[in-house]
């Protein structure tokens, strides 16, 4: 599996790759493509999927995917052969749209054939063409429609492929894209190893959100605050725990102790003695 390096992180352009990452490896990412629908909203985003830097680094560390840089090849000036092939492919796609639209028009004509025949016959009768009206058949209508069909290329759909449509080269990115020794990355990696679905917690004032299952089905159950030491100021503790109450999630502090590489977790709950 290959991730494309863009803006310092990995992007997924293949739908099968993304479904494998999501279902098998619990990697969520964020779809950032624009859906071809009216009234588009961010909840309707599609491919490509932008992975966080932590997600990208995690996939590299576990040899699940490779990160590639395609900028050199895709920014290079195309050869005459590539340009001609691109034009031919584009022409082929336009012809495909034309044939598909014509087929649909014929199918629609057949669906309303009785009404169309009745209308055409009435028109011929008003013109005094009784014999033509009597001889008119469904095949005549379909033949007329087929011969008069015109495809206006100005109204053609512009295809925006998720994956690059032609073969191209890329360079493997070997270096890490985040500090793999940082506590925040190690917490993310540890939670992932425990089988959790982990996403960014920025929107909730936390470092991470933890889900009991796929976020398409489940709400986040915990917010995770990464703390460099096991010592926390009372006001900061109150603020974070109150925040977790407001968003209806459990608050977890992740920290490490000096001379101990193990990550420790502490769940803190808000208790209201008056209730």
- Which sequence positions are flagged as catalytic? 211, 219, 249
Classified as helix, coil or strand, 66 is strand
Sheet of 222-226, strand order: 197-200, 208-211, 222-226, 250-256, 263-268
Give the Cα separation of 272 and 109 in Å (integer).
70
Bridging pattern class, strands 66-69 and 2-6:
parallel
> What is the distance between the alpha carbons of residues 96 and 150, in angstroms, rounded to a whole number?
14
Asked if residue 253 lies in contact with residue 243, where contact means CB atoms within 8 angstroms, the answer is no
Give the strand pairing for 46-50 and 171-172: unpaired
| Residue 228 burial by Cβ neighbours in a 10 Å radius (0-12, 13-18, 19+) | exposed
Which contiguous run of DSSP H or E holds residue 94? helix 80-111
Between CA 71 and CA 65 the distance in angstroms is 19
Task: Determine the Cα–Cα distance for residues 60 and 81; give it in Å rounded to an integer.
Answer: 36
How are strands ordered across the β-sheet holding 9-12?
Answer: 30-33, 46-50, 9-12, 2-6, 66-69, 171-172
């Amino acid at each position: 599996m290959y991730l494309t390096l863009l803006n310092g992180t990995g992007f997924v352009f293949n739908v099968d790759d993304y479904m494998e990452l999501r279902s098998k490896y619990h990697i969520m990412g964020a779809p950032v493509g624009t859906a071809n629908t009216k009234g588009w909203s961010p909840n309707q985003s599609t491919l490509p999927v932008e992975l966080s830097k932590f997600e990208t680094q995690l996939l590299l560390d576990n040899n699940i995917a490779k990160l590639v840089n395609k900028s050199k090849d895709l920014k290079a000036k195309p050869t005459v052969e590539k340009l001609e092939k691109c034009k031919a492919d584009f022409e082929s796609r336009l012809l495909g749209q034309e044939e598909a639209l014509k087929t649909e028009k014929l199918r629609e004509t057949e669906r309303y054939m009785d009404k169309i025949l009745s209308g055409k016959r009435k028109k011929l009768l008003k013109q005094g063409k009784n014999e033509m009206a009597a001889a008119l058949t469904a095949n005549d209508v379909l033949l007329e429609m087929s011969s008069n069909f015109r495809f206006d290329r100005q109204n053609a759909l512009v295809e925006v492929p998720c994956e690059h449509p032609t073969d191209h080269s890329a360079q493997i990115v070997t270096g890490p894209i985040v500090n793999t020794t940082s506590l925040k990355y190690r917490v993310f990696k540890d939670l992932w190893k425990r089988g959790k679905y982990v996403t960014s917690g920025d929107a909730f004032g936390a470092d991470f959100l933890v889900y009991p299952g796929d976020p398409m089905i489940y709400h986040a159950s915990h917010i995770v605050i990464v703390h460099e030491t096991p010592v926390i100021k009372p006001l900061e503790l109150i603020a974070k725990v109150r925040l977790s109450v407001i968003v209806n999630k459990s608050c977890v502090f992740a920290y490490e102790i000096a001379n101990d590489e193990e990550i420790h977790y502490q769940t803190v709950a808000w208790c209201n003695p008056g209730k």
